[in-house]
Amino acid sequence: MNKKLKAVVSHHEREVAELREDRELAVEYLKAAMESIDNPEDRAAGLLALRTVAEAYGGLGVVAADAGISRESLYRALSANGNPTLKTLLAVLKAVGMKLSVEQDNHVVA
C-alpha cells in the first residue's frame, strides 16, 4: 500500500513563511500587535508577534546576535511573560529591519 503523505505545516510555520515573503505584511502585522502592547492584558500578543517576526527574519539566534543580546535573553524578553527593556526592543526591531514609531492617540481626551 503506497500512501502519499501530506506535509503538515503548522499555522505558526505558515505565518512565519508569509511574513518572510511579504515585508509590508510583516510591518502591518507588527504594527497591529504593538498597538496593544501597553495594555498588560494584551502585552503577550505584542511580544509574541515580535518573536514571530524575528523568526521570519533570520531566526531568534541570528536576531539575538544582531541585537547584541544572548539568544536566551531574547527568548525570555519575547515570551508571553516577557518584559523587554526599551534598549532590547529597539535592538530587536533594528535587527529585523524595522524601527519604533510614535503617533498621536486620538482616543485620549485631553
The domain limits of the chain are 11-95
Give yes or no for residue 78 having a pLDDT over 90. yes
Q: pTM of the entire structure?
A: 0.83
Residue range 21-39, pLDDT digits in tens:
999 999 999 998 888 777 8
- Judging by beta carbons within 10 Å of its beta carbon (0-12, 13-18, 19+), is residue 1 exposed, middle or buried? exposed
Could you tell me the three cell numbers for 29?
A: 502585522
